[in-house]
Every structure is written in structure tokens, then in C-alpha cells.
Structure 1
Amino acid sequence: PKGETYQQAYYRSQTTQRTGYLGTCADNGTVSGYDSWAGMLGEPLDRLQIHINDNSKY
């Protein structure tokens, strides 16, 4: 919208089979394999954090 700064959704997840969060993702087309999804195929998701801003806090 007019007057608003562009902001991006940054997200990270943790599965039930791992300790600690996986890498931070942003659906911005710049990081191959990290756009459009967060997690590991076949591993149930335990947590998901999303931060919306003009930069990542993770």
C-alpha cells in the first residue's frame, strides 16, 4: 500500500525428530530449496515461528 515499506515473512520450523530450529526461510525466490516451505519431508512439524518485517530477526 502507498506509504508502507515492503515487508517479508521470515519463518523457521522444528520437527519432532530434531533438536533446535531448522534454517530460516523466506519465500522471496533468492535461496534455492528454502522458498515456499519450511520443514523436512516425512518429519512431523513440532513448531513454526513467523516474523514479518523488512529483515529477519532469526
Structure 2
Amino acid sequence: MSNCKRCNKPLKTVKSIDIGYGPVCKKKQAAEDAEFERIQITLEEVVESGVAV
């Protein structure tokens, strides 16, 4: 039996085990991943802003 990567509870379905997250944690993780991607900046944006690296 495998455990969820987020909450460490046992995973019950093959699909959840393959993904590594239960259905609730999968939604929460997807939201966190989307927010992380949204707030990232590229090197080009840093260069264009004139901020010293």
C-alpha cells in the first residue's frame, strides 16, 4: 500500500497510487502548483526590469 505524498494517508485506488495523491490532495496540489507557476518570473523579465542579478 502506498501513501499520499501530501497528507501521508494510505491510498486506496490504483489511480491514486499511480498519481501519488488522493483525490482531495490532488486538487489542493494542483492549485498550489498553479499558484507557484503564476508567481514565477523569467530571467528575461528580470533583465528587462533592470534589476541587478
Fold shared per TM-score above 0.5: no
Please report the TM-score for the alignment, with normalisation by the length of structure 1: 0.24
Higher helix fraction (1 or 2): 2
Structure possessing the higher relative contact order (Cα contacts under 8 Å, 6 or more residues apart): 1
Which structure has the highest strand share of the two?
1
TM (norm. structure 2) is 0.25
